[in-house]
Amino acid sequence: MGNGIAMTPEIMKDRTKKFAKEIIFLCRKLPKNREGYLIENQIFKSATSIASNYRAACRERSKAEFIAKMGIVEEEADETLFWLEVIEGVEIFKRESNTSLMRECNEILSIVVSSINTARKGKSD
């Protein structure tokens, strides 16, 4: 977020939840055929998992637990990005439709990786 706002856990919780909702809206627009259902199931699960696992990471009791849970968030964000790339690659929607979702997913992924790296550097328990 290049606007100088500190990324607090509360802001990140809201941001990941908003992203999950945007993916749900996207899923509603996918074609009702075999490829649409497959992509819908996969991206729905991975995007909502980003938000739910981030919330869980914020409740962890130790840095090790936080890092482990954030690792799941990283994997789910990367998977969501993969499915957004597939949607673009098979031309389900016009390219511009996915641009903001892909950008947001990349930003979330970058924030998560940075948080994991910071936690690993300061890991003492």
Average pLDDT of 23-44?
Answer: 96
- Which residues, including other chains, have CB under 8 Å from residue 19's CB and lie 6 or more apart? 47, 50, 51, 101, 104, 105, 108
16-26 residue pLDDT tens: 999 999 999 99
Looking at the chain, list the stretches that DSSP marks H as alpha helix, in order from N- to C-terminal side. Answer: 9-29, 34-58, 63-89, 95-121
Q: Structure tokens of 41?
A: 């199931």
42-52 residue pLDDT tens: 999 999 999 99
Q: Lowest-pLDDT range, 72-81, 86-95, 97-106? A: 86-95
Domains and CATH numbers, the chain: 9-115 (1.20.1440.60)
Q: Does position 98 have pLDDT exceeding 90, yes or no? A: no
* Selection from 26, 34, 10, 36 nearest residue 101 by Cα: 26
Angstrom CA distances, 24 to 2, 17, 44, 92, 125, stand at 26, 11, 6, 16, 37
Do 119 and 70 contact (CB within 8 A), yes or no?
A: yes
Q: Does position 2 have pLDDT exceeding 50, yes or no? A: no
